[in-house]
Amino acid sequence: EEKTYSLPAWLIASFWESVALQETCFLSDYYIWKINVDETPMEKEIASLHRMEFQFSDIFYFCRKGFEAIVEDEVTQRFSSEELVSWNLLTRTNVNFHYVSLRLTVVWVIGVIVRYCFLLPLRFTLAAIGITSMIVGTTVVGQLPNSSLKNYLSEVVHLTCSRILVRALSGTIHYHNKENKPQKGGICVANHTSPIDAIILTNDGCYAMVGQVHGGLMGVIQRATVKACPHVWFERSEIKDRHLVTKRLREHVADKNKLPILIFPEGTCINNTSVMMFKKGSFEIGGTIYPVAIKYDPQFGDAFWNSSKYNIVSYLLRIMTSWAIVCHVWYMPPMVRKDGEDAVQFANRVRSAIARQGGLTELPWDGGLKRAKVKDSFKEEQQKNYSKMLVRNGSQGSLSAGTESD
């Protein structure tokens, strides 16, 4: 993939020998050139110079990688809305597109009237009906004694209300490979793009949710639904106790009569283009993992929630004023942990399978980088790799020199 960069001429001259220039031209006091961004490992690229010791030009490798990251790194761009090939007449795209022509402006205005004056009131009404039905229905069912009848009625209420909420979003969902749907006593793991991911999945089956206890309307819904269904809610103080969380989840999975747990191991929303690091906690519980890949079609509406830019109310308004929510859901064959495989390796294997099925880019980075700085350990790891390479090459060079002297 070719990337285009523009930097002052004096800076280019400093790195002329280290940066692979494909074509250059002079414009004012700037050079504009294209370089091929390759993923060659540090050790392989520097070792290809056939040197056995440190040379000052080694820093150019790190400088080039730094420039590539500044221009367009592969992490932070995953926390902003996906770029579209063509404008979908929604305000989430460049506002300058509204005024390309009078005809286009008229079409956009008509679209605004339809979305805000007709679709929004209808969708808001359906959402209110769905949420109210969920609270009332689960509260009533929760009064019944534990029995197969209670479980059946709970599933009916959850499915019915979830389908009403999906219709409130004008959702068009395509489910694939339904024979692989998560079974009771298992753990369903999926990539995470939006808070509505849970509604998308519960539209086709019931799950036990896992999450933190909230206040407000969300708290009311949580308290009502847990009476009818064995959801696993944690207090804020408990969610930090990893051992307690793992214990409660294991107890849930051990009961093969309980609904499968639904977990999003990324821990944050990613913009529908990639899958980032899965937290290992979900894969330490044991039991069968049922991977699910979710892929939205951004042409009809942007489902990604950029929580750093929009609060939940603003996000829901944007969702409910989109044309529609169109997505594909792939149920994948169940996976179990192999002998000798640790939780991290298992998590990476499941992530790779989801990425391949959904046509998503697989990234090793922690989604927590959305709000946190890069850990010093990541920087130190690159330094250690470089120093190990120098030590290894130096010892090889010393051995060769000793052999020649003999």
| pLDDT score for 237 | 63
Q: Which residues of 223-235 are buried (b: 16+ CB within 10 A; e: fewer)?
A: bbbbbbbbbbbbe
Specify the fold of 7-31+88-94+101-370: Glycerol-3-phosphate (1)-acyltransferase (3.40.1130)
CA 79 vs. chain centroid, Å, equals 9
| pLDDT score for 123 | 93
> Per DSSP, which regions of 271-324 are E strands?
274-275, 289-296
Host H or E run for residue 189:
strand 187-190
Distance of alpha carbon 326 from alpha carbon 328, whole angstroms: 7
**Residue 302: other Cβ atoms inside 10 A:** 25
Question: Closest Cα to residue 195, out of 369, 314, 370, 363?
Answer: 314
**Residue 368: other Cβ atoms inside 10 A:** 15
Q: Delimit the domains of the chain by residue range.
A: 7-31+88-94+101-370
Q: How many residues does the chain have?
A: 406
**Residue 95: other Cβ atoms inside 10 A:** 8
Q: DSSP of 174-207, one letter per residue? A: EEE-GGG---TT-EEEE--S-TTHHHHHHTSS--
Residue 187, classed as helix, strand or coil, is strand
Q: Which two structure tokens, joined as six digits, stand for 105?
A: 């402006």
| pLDDT score for 331 | 96
Q: Which two structure tokens, joined as six digits, stand for 321?
A: 């004023």
Residue 289 has φ and ψ, to the nearest 5°, of -100, 130
Give the CA distances from residue 229 to residues 121, 133, 260, 264, in Å, rounded to whole numbers and listed in that order. Answer: 31, 15, 11, 19
| pLDDT score for 105 | 77
Distance of alpha carbon 352 from alpha carbon 359, whole angstroms: 10
Instruction: Tell me which amino acid residue 76 is.
Output: T
Q: Which two structure tokens, joined as six digits, stand for 186?
A: 């298992």
Give the CA distances from residue 302 to residues 86, 119, 145, in Å, rounded to whole numbers and listed in that order. Answer: 13, 16, 42
Residue 43 has φ and ψ, to the nearest 5°, of -60, -45
Residue 175, classed as helix, strand or coil, is strand
| pLDDT score for 204 | 92
Instruction: Tell me which amino acid residue 282 is.
Output: S
User: Tell me, what DSSP letter sits at residue 231?
Assistant: -
| pLDDT score for 34 | 45
Per-residue pLDDT of the chain (406 residues; tens, 9 = 90+): 444 444 444 444 444 444 443 333 333 333 444 445 556 666 566 555 545 565 666 677 777 767 666 656 666 666 666 666 566 667 544 545 545 677 777 888 888 898 899 999 999 999 999 999 999 999 999 898 888 898 899 999 999 999 999 999 998 999 999 999 999 889 999 999 988 999 999 999 899 988 777 777 788 888 888 888 888 887 756 656 667 777 888 888 888 888 999 999 988 888 888 888 898 888 888 889 999 999 998 888 888 888 777 888 888 888 898 888 999 999 999 999 988 888 899 999 999 999 999 998 888 877 666 666 666 776 777 777 767 766 655 544 444 445 444 5
| pLDDT score for 4 | 46
Residue 233, classed as helix, strand or coil, is strand
pTM: 0.74
